[in-house]
Structure 1
Amino acid sequence: MTRSLVIALILAFGVQNPEPRTPNQERRTKNLEPGTRNPEPVLRVGFARPGGGYVTETMPLEAYVARVVAGEALRNSQPAALEALAITVRTFALANRGRHRADNFDLCDQTHCQVVRAATAATERAAQATAGRLLLRDGAPASIFYTASCGGRTEIPSAVWPGAEDPPFLPSHEDEACRGVPEWSAELRDADLVRALRAAGFRGERLRDARVVARSGSGRVAWIRLDGLRPDEISGQDLRVAVGRTLGWQHIKSTAFDVRRAGDRFRFTGHGSGHGVGLCVIGSARLAERGQTPEAILAHYFPGLPISGVSGLSGISGVRHLPDPVISLTLPDEDEGERTAIERRALGARDEIAKVLGVAPPPTITLRFHPTVDDYARATTQPWFTSGAIVDGELHLPPLAELRDRGVLDRAMRHELVHLMTDGLLATRPLWVREGAALYFSNRDAAPPAAVRAPCPGDNELRRPVSAGALTSAYARARACFARQIEQGRDWRNVR
């Protein structure tokens, strides 16, 4: 195992400073001439094992659609609702095919992708009745979402996943068919809520109060003030995720809620279930009960998106081919809405850094955001206060929300990308040279080195720091030593 040391996330100190691992995978259906038939695509689905890891099963697309509709639909839904969901599920599958490329399969069987269960006769009929039909954007499967219940109003993507695109076919609009459903309430002991927040990276022993300070345009909780913890604010979505991971997802079912303190507990009351973006499963079921067609249901939730025509039960036509991704990105379920934005930022940073360094950009980058700080620390063996590591050529980063909330998301990605492009050429140099290069090229706007020269850090200071403060000092000196030689006109490859 090889890994880079990483830039620290230490707020108090304010530090501002390949080859693909899996075979190429076919990403989309081939572009066909009108009227021709395409062999039915197959998907490699990873089924989670109780002890960890996945078992991969290959299945035809329509068999997969029938099994996902069985896992995601409301029980006893009308055929029109099942068919609308089948088209949505098929579109989602092809738009996200290869999401688990780094794991050597396409999609998993959990909520991170789509829930897979045993198909029923009704879900098989829905899959076959809509076989080959997709929601398209610019000739390719559209990037869409669906939710268990919007609670009466759908949400825009960026209100759930900061940085996500808000296309016109994913608006926030009233959904009378799902108004106020389901209602829910939960009581959490303050000690349990603190435990969940501390597991998410917050600091403090006692939460004196929690109150909503901002809501999105749909009325969902945007921000909550946490009296007694640091940081002292958290988004509604991040609170839901923090509680779900530690205490269970049955407590805070959506971000459409109110919260108040009641003695030693916090009482949450709300409605809806899930993120609220895109097709509402409960709402679509009720629309079908009122006689709406699958096409009308999809037009209600995805306005303006065309539906591809049918090319027989075994073919998909009119869909253009999309190339394999340069960025192989792994995200937790709650961050999936930011996939496109993160891929775009990582690709832009890769190209910019390669140009500055004068090297060829790596053809493929594997980037993994971990769901928790503890998960990141276990995978990388790095301390909690670091913000990235390279393990076996893969870039590992702490939770996306943590990096974003601390304002270091772009810098953390850039830091590891510099390591990816320079460590091989600097492998024989002292560790301060490699860290100095990453610190310097990931933040060219940082202050110049101090006039008084401090000694360059030794390898042990960077590999095994005695404290967060000691690591901060070592990073600052590594960057200063590297920057001085660059400013004297030395090429970065010759710093030593």
Structure 2
Amino acid sequence: MTRPLGIALRSLAVLALATLVNFAPMATLGMPGMKEYSFHGIRVLAKTADQDDAEHLAARVEKQAGGIAEALGTADTGGIGIIVYPSRKDLHRKTIGFAGAFLPDWFIGDNTREWVLITSPANPGPAHDRESVERAAVHEYVHVLTDRVNKSLGYWLKEGLALYLAGQEPTVDAVRSYAGIRWDDYSRPSALQFAEVGGYTLAYTLVEYIADRYGWEAVVRLVPSGASMERVLGVGPRGLFDEWKAWLSEL
């Protein structure tokens, strides 16, 4: 029994060390060489080379922040800052550690309940440009607000609200290309699977459909923890899915 126990303990020690090494970059959200700025009333961390872009990002968020808070009916908007990373790879490491090397190029933003985490518009990578990075910063700002209300909000509504309020409207052709989504893919999303089935295209239209059919107030009432879709909309998740799919087919 002693030998197997020793092997097991050594294996656990190696696993623990590997875990610590992987998550080491996440110990702090900031990076060496970053400076703290205050732009448009928003606390911003960025490197000197990204100062101008950081100011533009803060201006974009500040311009839309009031309308977003009003749309969500929330007053909990204090203490939200922005961290601008020199590259998407830097952001990836701060998101899930060294395992971030496997994150896709389109992943350029994240959030906590206090921070918008975003890639510098000066280095957006192959999947984005300056404009899409600025919209992504607003997108992550929406996530901060909804996370403060309900951190466990489902992917479709959480991403749909962020896309909708950030003005990230998809083209009709893009929507049509994913309109055949199946209930199984819709009802059990994970982060990467959500992207693969067109979630970042279709979620905008889900919020748009709910707002058109049931009113914007209904969208907002679905956000808090414990909200019942049946009570708010009069239909359950599958019923809403079927209605929305029929609506998509007419686009």
Into which bin does the TM-score normalised by the smaller protein fall?
Answer: 0.5 to 0.7
The corresponding residue for 1:239 is none
Which of 481, 484, 493 aligns to 2:206? It is 481
Contact 1:414 1:442 in 2 (8 A): yes
The corresponding residue for 1:461 is 189
The corresponding residue for 1:329 is 44
State the 1:394 CA deviation.
Answer: 1.8
Percent of matched pairs sharing the same residue? 19
Residue 369 in structure 1 maps to residue 73 in structure 2: no
The corresponding residue for 2:106 is 385
Query: Deviation per CA, 1:270-290, whole angstroms, max 9, x where unpaired?
Result: xxxxxxxxxxxxxxxxxxxxx
Residue 352 in structure 1 maps to residue 67 in structure 2: yes
The corresponding residue for 2:165 is 441
Contact 2:86 2:123 in 1 (8 A): no
Alignment of 1:193-212 (within 5 A): none
SS of residue paired to 2:214: coil
CA separation in 2, counterparts of 1:341 and 1:397?
Answer: 13
How many residue pairs match? The answer is 182
The corresponding residue for 1:492 is 219
Bigger relative contact order, structure 1 or 2, given CA contacts below 8 A and separation 6+? 1
Query: Deviation per CA, 1:380-437, whole angstroms, max 9, x where unpaired?
Result: 1362321211135321112321347353122101111111112343445432111111
Call closer, same or farther: CA 1:370–1:413 in 2, change over 3 Å. Answer: same
Call closer, same or farther: CA 1:344–1:459 in 2, change over 3 Å. Answer: same
Contact 1:326 1:365 in 2 (8 A): no
Structure 1 gap ranges (5+): 1-50, 54-101, 114-142, 144-322
Structure 2 gap ranges (5+): 1-23, 223-228, 230-251
Alignment of 1:248-397 (within 5 A): 326-360=41-75, 362-381=77-96, 383=103, 384-391=105-112, 393-397=114-118
Call closer, same or farther: CA 1:478–1:345 in 2, change over 3 Å. Answer: closer
Query: Deviation per CA, 1:130-179, whole angstroms, max 9, x where unpaired?
Result: xxxxxxxxxxxxx9xxxxxxxxxxxxxxxxxxxxxxxxxxxxxxxxxxxx
SS of residue paired to 2:189: helix
Residue 408 in structure 1 maps to residue 132 in structure 2: yes
Call closer, same or farther: CA 1:427–1:365 in 2, change over 3 Å. Answer: closer
Alignment of 1:33-48 (within 5 A): none
Q: So what's the TM-score if we normalise by structure 2?
A: 0.58
Contact 2:82 2:117 in 1 (8 A): yes
State the 1:362 CA deviation.
Answer: 0.9
Higher strand share: 1
CA separation in 2, counterparts of 1:430 and 1:368?
Answer: 25
State the 1:370 CA deviation.
Answer: 0.9
SS of residue paired to 2:122: helix
Contact 1:327 1:365 in 2 (8 A): yes
Point out the structure with max Rg over C-alpha. 1
Q: So what's the TM-score if we normalise by structure 1?
A: 0.32
The corresponding residue for 1:213 is none
Query: Deviation per CA, 1:209-242, whole angstroms, max 9, x where unpaired?
Result: xxxxxxxxxxxxxxxxxxxxxxxxxxxxxxxxxx
CA separation in 1, counterparts of 2:39 and 2:87?
Answer: 28
Call closer, same or farther: CA 1:478–1:338 in 2, change over 3 Å. Answer: closer
CA separation in 1, counterparts of 2:32 and 2:123?
Answer: 26
State the 1:454 CA deviation.
Answer: 3.8
CA separation in 2, counterparts of 1:52 and 1:463?
Answer: 21
CA separation in 1, counterparts of 2:59 and 2:45?
Answer: 14
CA separation in 2, counterparts of 1:390 and 1:109?
Answer: 20
Contact 2:79 2:114 in 1 (8 A): no
State the 1:460 CA deviation.
Answer: 5.2
State the 1:353 CA deviation.
Answer: 1.3
